[in-house]
A and B are shown apart, each in its own frame.
Chain A
Amino acid sequence: MYGSNKKWALYIVLIIFLLIIPWLMGNYLAYLFNLSGIYIIAILGLNILMGLGGQMFFGGVAMMAMGAYAAAFLANDLCFPFYISIPFSGLITCILSLSITFPALRVRGLYLAMVSVGFHLILEQIIGGWGSFTGGYDGLSLSKASLAGIEVASDRAFYYVVLVTVVLSLWSAVNLMKMRVGRAIWALGQDPVSTSVLGINVTFYKIVAFMICAFYCGISGGLMAHYLRFITPDHFTILTAIMLLVGMMVGGWGSLMGSVAGGFFVTFLPEAIGLFKDYFLGATTALYDLQATISGIIIIVVVLYIPNGFAEWSKDLRSKWGYNRSERR
């Protein structure tokens, strides 16, 4: 009884902390927190498809881009408010992602990885080339988000939008993974052959896993479009895709709560690299290249030495909040 009281007290403190946190810090830190939230949702989606479903899919950022441009279309051309256009951008991404889902069903492993890289690059060409709809490389702007006449465009105000979306996404993902669908996807990631022997429709649940990933990534992209209010193809490059992968691996494969750690890691890593660069290397060094180098080294180190990411260090968290691939090596 005492233990459960303590737990509730902890939850209440956490909730209050989350609610007041933007007022404890400057605008820039609030901006970084919002960005982390956006990445957490995308990493969550990828974690379900890659970490639990075992599909080597590198096209999460392409799905984010679809969501972002869908949200921009809904908000600009159809005048939808942000709280409608964000969920709808998730749904539109699901539909658009069918174009990659069906080729992806035929292949797996490294072939799927390469197909998804190709998918990402083709989409980049389409976004860059289809200037009348996407604004090409000049980008596309959105109007300020407003809720019942009140503007929610500042970093601190938008923090609450991101917070609500992240909490809803995590809550739905954790519950989804405890349902029949989640168990089927997890089984798929363990061994597709045994899964089909158990009478689980492998193709159907693969599609479902892709759709879940597309929905989360689409929502993340929609949120990003409404928050930054300006999107260009440069927001969705192959480096962003790699950063999402870094976040997922650092957070832990198949660990849903690890996505939170991963989202923060991915957002704060470039900042930390920027600080490091200003101190030690001077302003002339290209941040982009340094970021690429360090992310690459992190990927190698994580794969070699901590294959389960942060979740390795908090087994308790892992067993409580999600499934995990049991044996990796």
Chain B
Amino acid sequence: MLIQLIISGLALGSVYALIALALVLIYKGSRLLNLAHGELVTIGAYFSLAIIVQIKLPYLVALFPAVVVAGIFALIVERIVIRPLAGSEEWPILIATWGVSITIRGLIGLIWGHAPRPLPSPFTSQHLRWGVYSISGQELVIIITSLLMLLIFYLFFTRSKSGLGMQAVADNHLGASLCGISVRRINALTWIVSGMVAAVAGITVSPIFFLHVDMGFGLFLGAFSAAVLGGFGSIIGAITGGYLLGVIQTVTGGYMPAAIKSSVPFVILILVLVLRPTGIFGKAVIERK
């Protein structure tokens, strides 16, 4: 029972880890929290649904155009909302991104309605059994995709020029721009990349959880809690926190009533912020002025 729950928890945790990674990327790049990030997850999932149903592409092929659409969407948000507010205080940006989140949710509701829909995937019906334990094909896809994404990210950050530029901008805006790095371009790139990561998370998770307008927001809240658990602002922390939270939430859900399962991320968020605001890996001061 416990080990089975941990296996399912790892799948949920992979999703949290990816979204939390995207959140932390944006936070490190431009010191802001994107409340609309869950909606990028939702957009990716709904676009892949549209592509699969309308154009009848196979699941794994539909992933790519949907991810590109989410990246473009993230760029549009960055251009219209974030860039004009660059250099302002923390909270106007926070509220503006919440406005973006509400707008996108309303638009998705207008276009696709509120009924939960399944995302057809060939992997959901297959199960891999090993003794008494079993793992569904989709869960395996989620775990493998997230590990693959993390590997790509590692290579991107350490080997590519843009990745190094992102690290430089995250460390010090002024210093990076003095070295000839275009901070604006890097920030736009950060948004595109994190929008794409969010979309990948959304497309891989929605065959298990149904597609719904609010699914992204729920995942976003979980991912934020995960990032805080790992130490907000630390990439390793976001990934560890994601896996940890996924396991904790699934195990709690297995032994307790279902209503409690959805509250687990907030309880953990409040507990971490009260007891150890820096999280597991965080060393930065949480009260940033």
Interface of B is mostly: helix
Chain A: interface residue count, which band? 35 or more
CB-based contact B267/A113 at 8 Å? no
Asked if B114 is at the interface of the complex by the 8 Å CB criterion, the answer is yes
**Max chain B C-beta neighbours (<10 A), residue from A108, A109, A193:** A109
A180 within 8 A of B: no
Interface positions of B (Cβ within 8 A of A): 32-33, 80-81, 84-85, 87-92, 94-96, 98-107, 109-110, 113-114, 221, 224-225, 228, 232, 259, 262-263, 265-267, 269-270, 273-274, 277, 286-289
A110-B33, A290-B110 in contact; A118/B265 too (CB < 8 A)?
A: yes
Closest to B268 in A: A118
4 additional A-B residue pairs with CB within 8 Å, beyond A111-B228, A118-B270 = A122-B267, A125-B263, A285-B110, A303-B92
The smallest C-beta distance from B87 to any residue of chain A, in angstroms, reads: 8
Q: B95 contacts A289, CB within 8 Å?
A: no
B106 contacts A293, CB within 8 Å? Answer: yes
In the complex, how many angstroms separate the beta carbon of B78 from the nearest chain A beta carbon? 13
User: 4 closest A-B pairs (Cβ-Cβ)?
Assistant: A299-B99, A296-B103, A293-B106, A118-B266
Pick from B92, B98, B105, B287: contact of A108, CB under 8 Å:
B287
A121, B263: Cβ atoms under 8 Å? yes
- Report B274 CB to chain A, min CB distance, Å: 5
Contact B221–A292 (Cβ < 8 Å): no
* Chain B min CB distance to A143 (Å): 30
Minimum C-beta distance from B102 to chain A (A): 3
Asked if B269 contacts A114 (CB within 8 A), the reply is: yes
Complex formed: what's the CA distance from A111 to B92 in Å?
14
Q: Which one of B80, B109, B267, B288 has the greatest number of beta carbons of chain A within 10 Å?
A: B109
**Complex-state Cα separation, A300 to B77, whole angstroms:** 11
Residue pairs across A and B with Cβ atoms less than 8 A apart, 7 shown, are A106-B277, A111-B286, A115-B270, A122-B266, A296-B101, A303-B85, A303-B92
Q: Which of A279-306 contact B (CB under 8 A)?
A: 285-286, 288-300, 303-304
Q: Which of A113, A294, A295, A297 contacts B94 (CB 8 A)?
A: A113
Is the CB–CB distance between A289 and B106 below 8 Å? yes
CB <8 Å contact, B102 and A292:
yes
A328: interface (CB < 8 Å):
yes
- Contact digits for A258-288, partner B, Cβ 8 Å, 1 yes 0 no: 0000000000000000000000000001101
When C-beta atoms are compared, the residue in chain A nearest to B273 turns out to be A107
Residues of A with C-beta under 8 A to B88 = 328-329
Complex: A114 Cα to B224 Cα, angstroms = 8
A125 in contact with B262 given A109-B90, A304-B84 (CB within 8 Å): yes
Residues of B within 8 A of A289 (CB): 105-107, 109-110, 114
**Distance between Cα atoms of A102 and B274 in the complex (Å):** 9
Contact A300 B270 (CB under 8 A): no
A304 & B102 in contact (Cβ 8 Å cutoff): no
Tell me the smallest distance from the CB of A71 to a CB of chain B, in Å.
25
Knowing A114-B269, A285-B110, A293-B103 are in contact, say whether A106-B274 is a contact too (CB < 8 A). Answer: yes
Is there an interface contact between A56 and B98, defined as CB atoms closer than 8 Å? no
Contact among A239, A245, A294, A328 for B95, CB-based, below 8 A: A245
The residues of B that contact A239 with a CB separation of less than 8 Å are 102
Chain A residues near B101 (CB, 8 Å)? Answer: 296
Residues of B contacting A329 with CB < 8 Å? 87-89
Report whether A249 and B95 are in contact in the complex, using a CB–CB cutoff of 8 Å.
yes
Give the residues in chain B near A307, CB-CB below 8 Å.
92
A119 CB–B CB distance under 8 Å: yes
Find the A residue at minimum CB distance from B36.
A296
Q: Which of B32, B228, B259, B263 has the most CB of A within 10 A?
A: B263
How far in angstroms is the closest Cβ of chain A from B233?
A: 12
Given contacts A109-B288, A125-B259, contact A296 B106 (CB under 8 A): yes
Are B103 and A300 in contact, with the CB atoms below 8 A? yes
Identify the closest chain B residue to A191 (Cβ).
B289
Q: In the bound complex, do residue A290 and residue B106 qualify as a contact, i.e. CB atoms below 8 Å apart?
A: yes
Tell me if A242 counts as interface (CB < 8 A to partner B): yes
Chain A residue nearest to B262 in the complex (CB): A125
Task: Report how far A239 CA is from B92 CA in the complex, Å.
Answer: 19
Which among B94, B113, B232, B270 is the interface contact of A103 at CB below 8 angstroms?
Answer: B270
Q: How far is the CB of B89 from chain A (nearest CB, A)?
A: 7
> What 0/1 readout, one digit per residue, does chain A (300-320) give for beta carbons within 8 Å of chain B?
100110010000000000000
